[in-house]
Structure 1
Amino acid sequence: MTFRENANIGSGRARRAGGGGKVAAGGGLGALLVALVVMLLGGDPGQVLGSQEEAAPQAQNVDLAECRTGADANADVDCRMKATMVSLEDYWTAVLPDADPTTAILFSGSVQTQCGSASSAVGPFYCPLDRRIYLDTGFFDQLEGQLGADGGSFSQMYVLAHEYGHHVQNWTGALQYSQQDPRGPESGAVRVELQADCFAGAWAGNATRTEDDEGNPLLQELTREDVESAMSAASAVGDDSIQERVQGQVTPHTWSHGSSEQRMGWFMRGYESGDANRCDTLNAASVDDYEG
């Protein structure tokens, strides 16, 4: 997906955490995948955060002032995240006008949050205590090189849209079901994650109609390649895909995010309907009912 070059992205609620940080010892692919099994893309951060070694104190967050236009977003990943936040906020403000928007904090190495300290090994996550999204954009290299996504820009935007979906769930109260019922193929955790995928799809189905502060369209029309890019990311982070890579077998009773097929299916349900109201995974008879 390409941003219109003259789109104004200055209002995007994205900040970069100042200062560096020591990445936890024992990182790399093994640590990343173990963390992904626990909480990739917004699971319960309390299970992982604070367990990393020597996370450095976070300096004051700084505006991405250099990110001004859609052309900047097309050229730079930080600016792309800022621009995506403009689009997500425009969409969700229209759907849920009473819900406050969230902010994305981009960091490198480690970060301090109200949910605890975290290193990059935990992957992207949403902290419900401070109501912020945290993302080390280096994760996108892992998503492509080690987990098998295609590396397209829309796969990156899907990740952020999924996390914004958790913010919506925090506002509606749905996020609590992830903690109350954290494991199993039909668990509350899986249903919460699949709803966030569906929410990401609903945004994607409306993204080309989102506007900047001046009322101008933010994005060009989605292509088949854009949708396939998002699907490749959703497939890469399915519980079955990760378990096969880590342990060589699939154990559904430990699932917390859903299978690759389910994640793709719920994303497409949201995308094809363009309606977040079609994303009620919590009351679905089965998490396999994404075609209903």
Structure 2
Amino acid sequence: MKWLGRRESDNVEDRRTLSGGKVAVGGGIIGIIILLINTFGGQNAQQLTPILEQLQGSQTTQTESGIPLSKEDEEMGKFVRVILADNEDVWSKIFTENGEVYKNPKLVLFRDGVQTACGGASSASGPFYCPEDQKVYIDLGFFDELKSKFGAKGGDFAIAYVIAHEIGHHVQTLLGTSTKMRQAQEGKSEADANKLSVALELQADFYAGVWTNRNQKTNNVLEVGDIEEALSAANAVGDDAIQSKMQGQVVPDSFTHGTSKQRMYWFKKGYETGDIKQGNTFSEIQ
């Protein structure tokens, strides 16, 4: 992705010189895996869950870690600021076109653990969005694990896709979609509530695709292989891919984020259309 020398957002909080110690997992990849394993049950689950839970701990306060940022860390921080700036520009324009006002979220970079308005989270949580403070939280070490543990290709645009997905959740918060989804889950069975959660996640993937389309038209930033990097990341974090790798079996009723095929489909649809109005992922579960 072509990003050097371009505008950087001022809405990034870099907390990578702080250490959160051991904190409670607040969601994301490992949290999802634990949830899926506990839902599935069985002897293999009993053996694996304690291992994953070692990644969790008790909530604590962040302190100075004394670890300075390397040149690579600084470079990654600049890249994240450019990606966030691109999201700000694209979504501000889309909201204006639809008679709405876009409010920029904050993006927090951290190591090890972090305190949020949604509670404490460890780096094992993976990137996540907290609607309570309207901030995206990312430990960039996640992307090394995405490549080494889950088979994604890696690359800078895989990072851009994940950031855009989390910003998609911010868009859903501003539009009221997230609140409506939570209200719709009330009184539903666990399986039906999970279907609504899947629809929300797939729509965030769609929004990431819309952002990619609009950003490319404006800034011409894509390079050969960028879209493949995003699709590879989407494929790697599908519920079926994670369950198959971690459990050896797939349990569709426990899906909360969608299959690899679904996640790639909705990202591609957003990228190909660039039209926010074509992302009604909830229509598939009616």
TM bracket (short chain)? 0.7 to 0.9
Residue-pair matches, total: 252
The 5-angstrom pairing of residues 56-75 of structure 1 reads 56-58=60-62
Structure 1 Cα separation of the partners of residues 191 and 81 of structure 2? 33
Which residue does 1:243 correspond to in 2?
243
Unaligned runs of 5+ in 1: 41-50, 61-65, 211-216, 288-292
Displacement of 1:57: 1.7
Displacement of 1:285: 3.3
Q: Does 1:99 align with 2:102?
A: yes
Within the candidate set 115, 118, 121, 1:115 is matched to 118
Displacement of 1:179: 7.2
Q: Does 1:285 align with 2:284?
A: yes
Asked if 2 retains the 8 angstrom alpha-carbon contact of 1:89 and 1:101, the reply is yes
Displacement of 1:173: 1.4
Question: Compared with structure 1, are the counterparts of its residues 201 and 32 closer, same or farther at alpha carbon in structure 2 (3 Å cutoff)?
Answer: closer
Displacement of 1:187: 1.1
Letter in 2 for 1:123: G
Displacement of 1:58: 3.4
Within the candidate set 214, 227, 231, 1:206 is matched to 214
Encode CA deviations 1:32-85: one digit per residue, 9 max, x unaligned: 854134799xxxxxxxxxx9423432369xxxxx99xxxx99x82222111100
Q: Does 1:81 align with 2:85?
A: no
Which residue does 2:140 correspond to in 1?
137
Asked if 2 retains the 8 angstrom alpha-carbon contact of 1:78 and 1:137, the reply is no
Unaligned runs of 5+ in 2: 37-54, 65-69
Displacement of 1:221: 3.7
Which residue does 1:53 correspond to in 2?
57
Which residue does 1:22 correspond to in 2?
21
Structure 2 Cα separation of the partners of residues 32 and 280 of structure 1? 23
Runs of 4+ more than 3 Å apart = 31-34, 36-40, 178-186
DSSP-derived class of the 1:76 partner: helix
Identify, as 1 or 2, the structure richer in helix. 2
Question: Compared with structure 1, are the counterparts of its residues 178 and 259 closer, same or farther at alpha carbon in structure 2 (3 Å cutoff)?
Answer: farther
Asked if 1 retains the 8 angstrom alpha-carbon contact of 2:18 and 2:63, the reply is yes
Question: Compared with structure 1, are the counterparts of its residues 95 and 117 closer, same or farther at alpha carbon in structure 2 (3 Å cutoff)?
Answer: same
Q: Does 1:191 align with 2:196?
A: no
Which residue does 1:48 correspond to in 2?
none
**Percent of residue pairs bearing the same amino acid type:** 38
Encode CA deviations 1:227-280: one digit per residue, 9 max, x unaligned: 000000000000000000111011000000000000000000000001111111
Encode CA deviations 1:1-51: one digit per residue, 9 max, x unaligned: 121x33232x342111251122459x9xxx9854134799xxxxxxxxxx9
Encode CA deviations 1:145-180: one digit per residue, 9 max, x unaligned: 101110111001100000000000011111131575
DSSP-derived class of the 2:19 partner: coil
Question: Compared with structure 1, are the counterparts of its residues 6 and 77 closer, same or farther at alpha carbon in structure 2 (3 Å cutoff)?
Answer: closer
Asked if 2 retains the 8 angstrom alpha-carbon contact of 1:12 and 1:84, the reply is no
Letter in 2 for 1:234: A
Encode CA deviations 1:173-209: one digit per residue, 9 max, x unaligned: 1113157536459711000000000000000011134
Asked if 2 retains the 8 angstrom alpha-carbon contact of 1:185 and 1:255, the reply is no
Asked if 2 retains the 8 angstrom alpha-carbon contact of 1:185 and 1:254, the reply is no
Question: Compared with structure 1, are the counterparts of its residues 185 and 238 closer, same or farther at alpha carbon in structure 2 (3 Å cutoff)?
Answer: farther
Letter in 2 for 1:58: Q
Structure 1 Cα separation of the partners of residues 217 and 35 of structure 2? 32
Letter in 2 for 1:269: K
Displacement of 1:108: 0.3
Question: Compared with structure 1, are the counterparts of its residues 276 and 162 closer, same or farther at alpha carbon in structure 2 (3 Å cutoff)?
Answer: same
Which residue does 1:264 correspond to in 2?
264
Which residue does 2:228 correspond to in 1?
228
Which residue does 1:149 correspond to in 2?
152
Which residue does 1:172 correspond to in 2?
175
Larger Rg: 2
DSSP-derived class of the 1:206 partner: helix
Structure 2 Cα separation of the partners of residues 240 and 150 of structure 1? 18
Greater alpha carbon shift after TM alignment, 267-276 vs 168-177: 168-177
